[in-house]
């Protein structure tokens, strides 16, 4: 028995159409994204962005960011202005 192979683009189109009909467009998109490899070189980009930083630098930056996002009440639970 010989099977005629369809072009891969046709198989992909049919599969996406069937998935969209069965599980919806959003879930189809989420499913397909699992198999997308992306682009670029993560290791090189990470080293360019963070290679000069120490672990202590990164932790300090995270703590500073968290501290700056706290509402004033978290810093002063009474809601009163601190005495000067």
- 27 is a domain residue: yes
Are 67 and 45 in a shared domain? yes
- 76 is a domain residue: no
Residue with the two structure tokens 């998109």: 29
User: Which of the four pLDDT bands, split at 50, 70 and 90, describes residue 5?
Assistant: very high
Distance CA 48, CA 46 (A): 5
pLDDT at 23 over 70: yes
pLDDT, one tens digit per residue, over 42-81 is 899 999 999 999 999 999 999 999 999 887 655 555 555 5
Whole-angstrom CA distances from 39 to 24, 46, 82 are 27, 14, 51
Q: What is the pLDDT of residue 61?
A: 93
pLDDT at 83 over 80: no
Containing structural domain, residue 32 = 9-38
Are 44 and 66 in a shared domain? yes
Q: What is the mean pLDDT of residues 12-38?
A: 92
**Mean pLDDT over all residues of the chain?**
86
Distance CA 4, CA 73 (A): 70
């Amino acid at each position: 028995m010989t099977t005629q192979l369809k072009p891969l683009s046709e198989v992909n189109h049919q599969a996406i159409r069937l998935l969209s009909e069965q599980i919806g467009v959003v879930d189809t998109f989420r499913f397909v994204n699992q198999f997308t490899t992306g682009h670029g070189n993560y290791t090189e980009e990470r080293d360019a962005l963070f290679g000069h930083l120490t672990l202590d630098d990164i932790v300090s930056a995270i703590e500073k960011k968290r501290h700056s996002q706290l509402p004033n009440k978290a810093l002063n639970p009474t809601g009163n202005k601190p005495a000067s």
